[in-house]
A and B are shown apart, each in its own frame.
Chain A
Amino acid sequence: MRVALFVTCLADTLSPAVGRATVELLERLGHEVVFPEEQTCCGQMHANTGYPAEATALARRFVRVFGADDHDAIVSPSPSCVGMVREQFAALARAAEDEQLAADAAALAPRVHDLSELLVDVLGLEDVGAVFPHRVTYHPTCHGLRGLGLGDRPLRLLRAVRELELVELPDATTCCGFGGTFSIKNADTSAAMLTDKVAGILRTGADVCCAGDASCLLHIDGGLRRGRAGVRTLHLAEILGAT
């Protein structure tokens, strides 16, 4: 299968290892990865902060860049950005009464997948042949959990990893407090939420906190490091890519 990588602006700029692991994992599984280099950002930050005009312009750009049919599927290591493309592009198109964008977004939506969806639903895999000898706890980021309804797909993938000990995170489904610009506008409330999330992670005794979204991981990692907790954060792709 030929898969186009939608790496997201945040992972591209601040967490390149997530993109690298996604590429290496898919190639190891025998698939071809293409990277449309014109991609920048899906516009989620603008849309969620209340700047739909700017977000719509970025959405139009996105459907142009990824609209080509030289690939079978699009994959992203970020459920929130997948949700943006799948759900919010249509809403932006409606609000802007942009029929072309609505049609392009509708055509694109079923082809865009979160990494765990691509692996489990499209490729029919649970065991990707990874080996990771660590104690791992998993935070199911809000947009993956409720937005995309990923369910236990990421957990099934993690359970199939050799030598990995999966431990349950207390209050796993509670938000870590990131929320994009929320963490800047309401930094204190966000910090209180992060404190509880970090405490939950520490209670598990895990070496690694895993999640499927680079942005939430950035936030959780910021809290763990500041507290010198000694727990690493890794994206699901990085664990599944490990051999």
Chain B
Amino acid sequence: MSGFASAARAGLDDPQLRRNLRQATTTIRAKRDAAVAEVDDWEGLRTAGAAIKDAALLALDAHLERLEANVVAAGGQVHWARDAGEANAIVTALVRATGADEVVKVKSMATEEIGLNAALAAAGIAAYETDLAELIVQLGDDRPSHILVPAIHRSREDIRALFERELGETGLSTDPAELAGVARRHLRERFLRVRVGVSGANFAVAETGAICVVESEGNGRMCTTLPDTLITVMGIEKVVPRWEDLGAMLQLLPRSSTGERMNPYTSLWTGVTPGDGPQAFHLVLLDNGRTTALADAIGRQALRCIRCSACLNVCPVYERAGGHAYDATYAGPIGAILSPLIDGFERHATLPSASTLCGACYEVCPVKIDIPSVLIHLRGRVAREHGAPPSERAAMRAMARVLGTRRKYELAQRALRTAGRPLSRDGRLERRLPGPLKPWTTFRDLPAPPEQTFREWWRSR
């Protein structure tokens, strides 16, 4: 047992985690279903969303150059980063140039992906997460376990204890409003003090140079408007060609992710405006494996992802194993395809197998990423290029040979029956079997091969 299967054990063995996850995902699923049901032509909107992202990806280079030109024309600066190391070096140098030694951060998957906080810390710069759940993860020296709700694995009691320990509070209750109030007081002081903000981006519009961040708490708007300098780290797949494209995306994202008609805060800015908001704006365009993913004709649709996390919330595997089982920035079904595609197969070879292909993720995806098909495709890449277990390869080849002719197939059916006979009791195989069926038969019975196969019955009638 390795990779996902062993990493899943911690989540499976933690009943509290499973209860938290179940409750949180059940609640958000119901909200999403209701918000989606209100839209007359949700399917049409999904198709539009997929088409917009595909159009962006199809001529990504041209859209990015147009975005760059328009950001620069509006008074911003654009930096290109091939990988995490380059992106971290760029951001670190930009912060240093301001003379600041601390930044406030908007929740961002891109900066999570490159490990920006640790890189800044190594350079003596403190990064403060300002999204409530990210703050909880950061204070607990923990890892996020959900794209949208990074602290989904934490209970209110965990959070109460954490705030008392880390923020010097005493006598707190587990009332969410009280806990949020504590975080608000703690954060407000930082919003007003810190001179550099760091954000991600949900969308960037090539034709205008506008950057868009959506969020629920208002912390993002504080980070993008109060500091003197704003640095945005954006995966290159976040660009959309036209301003109108936001029309579909801003309907699809909130309904899919938080089950809201519209998210409470949508911040859009274009370069800098003298006397209003940050007076220096830097856009860091991050590749970090995205162009590699783009070269995979079937896998590239994963780059349509708008990080809504609807697929996590419906995934029965995610719900039971938890986000940490994926051991990657992106958890859940989208993580199972995105992680190997952009971060390589070495660390993520077992993720494409971490799915039953039940299709619930595809059904809810607002940009119609056919996750099951990509999973199957990536399983093929693992088997061909990245060393699937030799035993698996041998078994698959042997079975293909047996199934390749009727004679071998019928011989195998008879052999199975003969082998099963001494192990059978009351039509079931004796409890635990050795070899590859051992894990299966640890929890479930297998039927004994019956006395007559269907085809034997057919011939005998």
Contacts and interface: CB of A to CB of B under 8 A. Distances in A.
A binds B: yes
B contact residues, range: 35 or more
Given A50-B379, A175-B356, A186-B4, A40 B403 contact: yes
Interface in A165-191: 173-175, 177-191
Interface stretch (B233-241, B279-287, B452-460): B452-460
B357 interface: yes
Contacts of B316: 174-175, 177, 193
Interface in A32-53: 35, 37-41, 43, 45-52
B110 to A, nearest CB: 29
Interface string B83-127: 000000000000000000000000000000000000000000000
A contact residues, range: 35 or more
B404 A146 contact: no
Given A9-B409, A142-B359, A194-B443, A189 B383 contact: no
Interface in B405-461: 405-406, 409, 413, 416, 428, 436-437, 439-440, 442-447, 449-450, 452-459
Contact of A91 (B359, B373, B454): B373
B311 to A, nearest CB: 13
B359 A143 contact: yes
Tell me if A's interface is mostly helix, strand, loop or mixed.
Answer: helix
B9 interface: yes
Contacts of A145: 359
Contact of B353 (A57, A185, A221): A185
Contacts of A61: 404
A207 to B, nearest CB: 18
B183 interface: no
A142 B356 contact: yes
B436 A184 contact: yes
B440 A51 contact: no
B5 A189 contact: yes
A196 B22 CA distance: 11
Interface stretch (A13-21, A98-106, A110-118, A153-161): A13-21
Contacts of A178: 356
A218 interface: yes
A222 B455 contact: no
Contacts of B359: 142-143, 145-147
Nearest to A197: B316
B403 A186 contact: no
A37 B406 contact: yes
A7 B409 CA distance: 14
B375 to A, nearest CB: 9
Contacts of B428: 225
A49 B396 contact: yes
Contacts of A175: 316, 356, 358, 360
B439 A52 contact: no
Q: Which of A91, A184, A186, A196 has the most CB of B within 10 A?
A: A186
B457 A20 contact: yes
A11 B384 CA distance: 30
Contacts of A2: none
Given A37-B406, A49-B396, A191 B458 contact: no
B354 A46 contact: no
Q: Which of A47, A50, A191 has the most CB of B within 10 A?
A: A50
A41 B459 CA distance: 19
Contacts of B8: 186, 188-189
B355 A182 contact: yes
A193 B379 CA distance: 22
Interface of A: 7, 9, 11-16, 18-20, 23, 35, 37-41, 43, 45-52, 54, 57-58, 61, 88, 91, 142-143, 145-147, 173-175, 177-196, 218-219, 221-223, 225-226
Given A16-B453, A46-B396, A187-B442, 5 more contacts: A7-B454, A142-B357, A146-B362, A187-B5, A192-B321
The 7 closest A-B pairs by CB, nearest first: A179-B356, A50-B379, A222-B444, A187-B439, A54-B400, A175-B358, A19-B454
Interface of B: 4-5, 8-9, 12, 18, 316-317, 320-321, 350, 352-360, 362-363, 373, 376, 378-384, 388, 392, 396-397, 399-400, 403-406, 409, 413, 416, 428, 436-437, 439-440, 442-447, 449-450, 452-459
